[in-house]
Amino acid sequence: MVKSEAVSWYRIYEMFHFQSFHMYGIIGVAVVVGTIGVQFFKKNNIKDFTGNPIAIEPKEKGFARYIIGGTLFGLGWGLVGTCPGPIFVLIGAGFYPVILILIGALLGTFLYGLLKDKLPN
């Protein structure tokens, strides 16, 4: 992630200002590879390392949950300049103030766990 500059605050800034295709390309490739992988798992009845079949349950249809969740995720990403994946990469690269972002992400996850039954999902 460091070599592709996916953890670069400047690259994220460019993406949110629609100034560069760089991050959209990385995200697009990840979506395509993920989609192919999920379809491969579904069609070939792939098993996990214990021999149990990997079952991907279909999600309920919904609009509000994706708009609200996506907006919150995007706002958090834009405010701190990183999405959850690169947090650990940045800490490993020596950017220790990112530990505060990790704490915030963990607190947000904990709050979601407390409130998930009251949210529209």
The dihedrals phi and psi of 114, each to the nearest 5 degrees, come to: -70, -35
Q: What percent of the chain has pLDDT over 90?
A: 17
pLDDT of residue 121: 59
Confidence of residue 108 (pLDDT cuts 50, 70, 90): confident
Rounded Cα–Cα distance for residues 90 and 121 (Å) = 31
- Inter-residue long-range contacts of 72-78, CB under 8 Å, 24+ positions, other chains counted: 76/104, 76/105, 76/108, 77/12, 78/12, 78/16
Residue 112: what pLDDT? 86
Q: What pLDDT, on a 0 to 100 scale, did the predictor assign at position 68?
A: 83
pLDDT confidence of residue 28: 93
Over residues 61-98, the pLDDT tens digits come to 878 878 888 888 888 877 887 777 788 888 988 889 98
Q: What is the pTM of this model?
A: 0.63
pLDDT at position 61: 80
Q: Is the pLDDT of residue 1 over 80?
A: no
pLDDT for 115 beyond 80: yes
Q: Is pLDDT above 90 for 110?
A: yes
